[in-house]
Amino acid sequence: MKKEFVVRSINNIDQSLCIDIFKRKDNTYGFEEYRRDKETHKGWYKVHSYGHDVYLSEQEALTSAYKNVSWLKENTSNINLKN
């Protein structure tokens, strides 16, 4: 069984970057940033290691992602930061 599962995934406009907000078995949350090269068809690659940070809610993880990931800041008009 996986230690965590994705509760929200947000892609940039050209689908080459992604943020996954995930929930751990202990009911804490985290996020990771990924990228992919569409030309290679090899899948997603982790860009930074944010996954070790612990948040008590999905909202806290999403807010931290917004503060730390530059492309996410630029696309906030398309993202619902509140559930």
pLDDT digits (tens, 9 = 90+) for 2-46: 678 999 999 998 889 999 999 999 999 999 999 998 777 788 889
Residue 38 is inside which H or E element, if any?
none
Domain that holds residue 56: 4-78
pTM (2 d.p.) = 0.81
Residue 83 in any domain: the answer is no
Predicted confidence band of residue 83 (pLDDT cuts 50, 70, 90):
very low
- Residue 76: pLDDT over 70: no
CA geometry: angle 35, 41, 47, nearest 5 deg: 15
Is residue 30 in a domain? yes
What's the structural domain count of the chain?
1
Query: In Å, what is the CA distance from 1 to each residue of 5, 13, 28?
Result: 10, 32, 17
